[in-house]
Structure 1
Amino acid sequence: MADILLRDIDPEMAERIKAMARERDWPIHDVILHLLRQGLGMAAPLPPMPGDIARLGGAWDDSEARAFDEAMRALRALPGER
């Protein structure tokens, strides 16, 4: 296998790589290889992380959750049979 030296990584990119390594409990080397494979269209889909039901079923961000709550309140306020 070839070795490649990567220089001049900006601090924001380096922090995102480190954060991903912490989140997945992977070595930074593995994160970088995964990102390169993904960027080149060579990555297999990641299996769900244990206990991560949000990845299996999807998750809403805060604005989506607020919009859903507002819609439900509006529906409950409509007159009708109960």
Structure 2
Amino acid sequence: MADILLRDIDPQMTERIMAIARERDWPIQDVVLHLLRQSLGLAEPLAPVPGDIARLSGAWEDSESRAFGDALRALESLPTPDP
């Protein structure tokens, strides 16, 4: 296999690669290789990480919605701190 050295990777890309590595508990090299394969059409897109709330979808049940509303009203009744 060939080795390729990448230089001048911008901070935003670096942070995203590192975040994916942390989320999946993968080595950074594995993340980069997977993303390259994916972008070249040689691999499936990364599946959502279980527990990643940003990727969850669905609806609340009535009891959950009522409980959330009750909690919000309780928070609104708390006194605000002085600045």
* TM-score bracket relative to the smaller structure: 0.5 to 0.7
Partner of 2:67: none
Partner of 1:78: none
Inter-partner Cα distance in structure 1 for 2:6 and 2:26: 19
Partner of 1:28: 28
Q: TM-score, normalised by structure 2?
A: 0.57
Task: Using CA pairs under 8 Å that are at least 6 residues apart, name the structure with larger relative contact order, 1 or 2.
Answer: 2
Superposition map of 1:61-72 within 5 A: none
In terms of fraction of residues, the more helix-rich structure is: 1
Matched residues, number: 58
Partner of 1:40: 40
Inter-partner Cα distance in structure 1 for 2:51 and 2:27: 24
Deviates more, 1:4-13 or 1:37-46: 37-46
Report the identity percentage: 69
Regions of 4+ moved over 2 Å: 44-49
Deviations 1:43-65, CA, capped at 9 Å, x for gaps: 1465675xx277xxx723xxx86
Partner of 2:14: 14
RMSD, aligned CA: 3.0
Listed as ranges, the gaps of 5+ residues in structure 2 are: 63-83
Inter-partner Cα distance in structure 2 for 1:44 and 1:6: 23
